[in-house]
Amino acid sequence: MTQISEQALQAAIKEYRDPYLGKDLYELGAVKALESSESGEVKLVVELPYPSAGIAGALKQLVAVALENVDGVESADVQVGQKIHSYKVQKDLPSVPGVKNIIAVASGKGGVGKSTTAVNLALALQAEGARVGILDADIYGPSIGMMLGVPEGKRPDTRENKYFVPMPVHGLQANSMAFVVTEKTPMVWRGPMVSGAVLQLLQQTLWDELDYLIVDMPPGTGDIQLTLAQKVPVTGAVIVTTPQDIALLDGKKGIEMFRKVDIPVLGVVENMSVHICSNCGHEEPLFGHGGGERIAEEYDTELLGQLPLHMTIREQTDGGNPSVIAEPDSEVALRYRDIARRVGAQLSSRERNLGGSISSVSVTEH
């Protein structure tokens, strides 16, 4: 029996480069165990630092083939899992109990599909193997409940008369001001009351071991947004825009606001990048072209993804069944999952928050 060279095994493993971080598995610190037996069996345990269920199968296959090409190897068993850590937040604010990372989804103006992006991003992160919650901080126009199909009038359970139990919806943990007040009650509140209510909702919800909490921020870059950005321990922000010049201008303001309070902008999601005709499938850039790329370049951030203007996205979201779960294999759902992996990968290269919540491990078998 040929003696298997440890060096050759490591060289074979290094052939795989992570598609989101551009590093090999050793550079990522993702190789957790490597064993070979005299009978030619090799066992490798890999642990990626971001939600990655969608690429685990390909990684497993590519690395197994590379290992089986090494002299003396008869078979290779590759196990792929993930471990998500807690990362640094601005001004070292105390973390929210039960939450490792908070991702703010924001837009410089309304009407660009921010809430649709927040909901689908949360569902996509969950589909990629993470534990995810969503908080609707858009006090004046809370829509997350409707988008997730929560029946009108349904209220979250409470504990000890002061804590909310998040509502389980489509595998997410959700809370929203809409669950606490009725749809027909307009929120006639001044800024300090709004930011106070959001902070209370965030801190008095019993989040259960979340890897990520997606916060759907109110649109705009005014006092409320600034106060929230200063007081909520945010790990990173995602800016949603459309290709229109006016939306891009507002998107830039959003990026500048987060930079001002030391919150890293993980990237830009460009919504409504092309219109797809529901009859013939013809694509047309109704709102202009390449705006998201320009803003990402100008601010040295990443274009996380571009999403089409398509009637089914609106219909599915309005019907309480967002694209990622309504049609998990559709082009739109796959784009959201790619965005989710990019966001997780971006966060994983940040400095860790050693005082944050405990990391969770999950193994994905394919």
C-alpha 343/C-alpha 140 separation (Å) is 27
* Per-residue pLDDT reduced to its tens digit, 50-72: 999 999 999 999 999 999 998 88
C-alpha 347/C-alpha 145 separation (Å) is 27
What value does the mean pLDDT of the chain take? 82
| Per-residue pLDDT band at 17 (split at 50, 70, 90) | very high
**Which whole number is the average pLDDT over 39-47?**
93
Q: Which of 88-92, 124-128, 184-188, 259-263 has the lowest mean pLDDT?
A: 184-188
In the chain, where are the structural domains located? 6-84, 90-357
**Which whole number is the average pLDDT over 95-124?**
87
C-alpha 240/C-alpha 114 separation (Å) is 6
pTM: 0.87
* Per-residue pLDDT reduced to its tens digit, 133-180: 999 988 777 888 888 888 887 888 888 888 999 999 999 999 998 887
Predicted confidence (pLDDT) at residue 351 exceeds the cutoff of 90? no
Round to the nearest angstrom and report the end-to-end CA distance of the chain. Answer: 30
* Per-residue pLDDT reduced to its tens digit, 228-271: 888 899 999 998 887 665 546 666 778 888 888 889 999 889 87
Indicate if the alpha-carbon torsion angle 181, 186, 192, 194 is positive or negative: positive
Predicted confidence (pLDDT) at residue 325 exceeds the cutoff of 80? yes
Which position has the token pair 């060096």? 7
Strand pairing category for 210-216 and 275-276: unpaired
% of the chain surpassing 70 pLDDT: 78
| Per-residue pLDDT band at 288 (split at 50, 70, 90) | very low
Which position has the token pair 């995602």? 238
**pLDDT for position 210:** 97
**pLDDT for position 7:** 92
Mark out the alpha helices in 165-322 (DSSP H runs): 177-180, 191-203, 223-231, 245-260, 291-298, 311-318
**C-alpha angle 140/232/104, rounded to 5°?**
65
| Per-residue pLDDT band at 366 (split at 50, 70, 90) | very low
**pLDDT for position 359:** 44
**Which whole number is the average pLDDT over 189-217?**
85
Q: Which residue has the higher pLDDT, 330 or 87?
A: 87
CATH number of 90-357: 3.40.50.300
**pLDDT for position 1:** 53
C-alpha 254/C-alpha 91 separation (Å) is 19
Q: Which residue has the higher pLDDT, 188 or 127?
A: 127
**pLDDT for position 360:** 44
| Per-residue pLDDT band at 222 (split at 50, 70, 90) | confident
| CATH 4.10.520.10 fits domain 6-84 | no
**pLDDT for position 363:** 45
**pLDDT for position 362:** 44
C-alpha 81/C-alpha 285 separation (Å) is 39
Q: Which residue has the higher pLDDT, 289 or 40?
A: 40
